[in-house]
Structure 1
Amino acid sequence: ALVIIVVLMAPLALQSWFTVDGWGFVLGALMSLVCAIPHEYIHAVCFRDTAYIYTNLKQGMLFVVGPEDMSKGRFIFMSLLPSIVFGLIPYIAGFTMHNVFLATLGAMSLGMGAGDYINVWNALWQMPKGALTYLYGFHSFWYRPDDGSRAEAAEE
């Protein structure tokens, strides 16, 4: 997460309109923390049926699980949607409008989606065409619906 934030903040730091000592920067950084819970709710909305939001704020953990199987595309969309809403859109808007608050909110929120990017990377590189994924505990698993492997994996 820190690497992503540094990489995204570097171009901002080079802009004459960007100031770290102003309220826009501080409020943008704080707002990215406030957006952590809505970030998870956006994931949850992407489930068709039931979704559970798991929070362990002492360990800095927030995530969503649900008992439904998803296509690779839908899983990737579900994983990226909160980062697009709270990260990419504000980051681009802040850069375009020279708005420190939006740019900082976007950069910090994009960094906070690091765990989601790992899930997307794994889905892109590991899931074959036609595979489905499901979430179980802290993990996501994929299977091919035509070979019955879901039932076998669930029993392990």
Structure 2
Amino acid sequence: MRIIWKGKFDGNEESLPHGEHKPNAVKFQEIDDIKKLGLVLNLLSVPLMIVTYAIVLLRGGFDVILEHFWIYWAGILAAIACLIPHEFIHAMCFRKEAYIYTNLKNGMLFVVATEDMSKSHFIVMSLMPNLIFGFVPFLLYLIFPQLGFLGILGATSIPMGIGDYYNIINALTQMPKGARTYLHGFHSYWYLPEEHAEQAE
């Protein structure tokens, strides 16, 4: 496994690493335009963040949060600092080479790799950094409300993973049993390996 930092995405999808298409590959039904995708996902993250912040407020209490306001700001800054480690965790879930790009103009960072993987592997890869930086700290805060730093870290990180949830939903709703998925440029595809394709027939 090798992680390669590519930096700023130049906007040219053809410049992204990709392999050959698999036989009978099916493109995911997803938003094609990267600008539109970034806009939609960022807009969807806002109500999710309102919900997670409201839970933090209700669990911790308004007076406590005001008294220790700097702790909560530290949680926000930590969540922002975790954006790049978030992508590295995605990249570590690939077995071969993975490339990390930034597209801050559209509010996105993303990982590209050429290998294919099972649906379950894809879901774990998509979810892993959100568990580490989002759901686990958030759950710990709900159990121990004095851990305000973890509460805000989780409440901020969970909405930041909106693009990953989008990919998971696509995989769950579009990939049939036994299918594998891969990236080609900026888009996801699924296909059935020969043995599964024969069984389907």
Counterparts in 2 of 1:18 and 1:36: CA distance versus 1, 3 Å: farther
Runs (5+) with no aligned partner, structure 1: 150-156
Q: Confirm or deny: 8 A CA contact 1:18 1:100 kept in the other structure.
A: no
Taking the aligned partners of 2:99 and 2:191, their CA distance within structure 1 comes to: 22
Shift of 1:18: 5.0
Aligned twin of 1:11: 55
- TM-score, normalization by structure 2: 0.69
Aligned twin of 2:119: 72
Match for residue 50 of structure 1 among 86, 92, 97: 97
Aligned twin of 1:154: none
| 1:51 match: secondary structure | strand
CA RMSD between the two structures:
1.7
Match for residue 24 of structure 1 among 47, 71, 85: 71
Tell me the percent identity: 51
Q: Confirm or deny: 8 A CA contact 2:181 2:190 kept in the other structure.
A: yes
Shift of 1:143: 0.9
Aligned twin of 2:46: 2
Please identify the structure whose Cα radius of gyration is greater: 2
The answer to which structure, 1 or 2, has the higher relative contact order (CA under 8 A, 6+ apart) is 2
Q: Which moved more, 1:8-17 or 1:92-101?
A: 8-17
Counterparts in 2 of 1:139 and 1:18: CA distance versus 1, 3 Å: farther
Q: Which moved more, 1:10-19 or 1:128-137?
A: 10-19
Report matched runs for 1:42-121 at 5 Å.
42-98=89-145, 99-121=147-169
Taking the aligned partners of 1:112 and 1:9, their CA distance within structure 2 comes to: 13
Match for residue 34 of structure 1 among 66, 81, 93: 81
- Cα-to-partner distance string for 1:88-129 (whole Å, 9 max, x where unaligned): 111111222211110000011010000000000000000000
Shift of 1:56: 2.1
Runs (5+) with no aligned partner, structure 2: 1-44
Q: Are positions 1:125 and 2:173 aligned together?
A: yes
- TM-score, normalization by structure 1: 0.89
Q: What is the aligned residue count?
A: 148
Q: Are positions 1:138 and 2:186 aligned together?
A: yes
- Cα-to-partner distance string for 1:55-93 (whole Å, 9 max, x where unaligned): 122332200010100000000000000000000111111
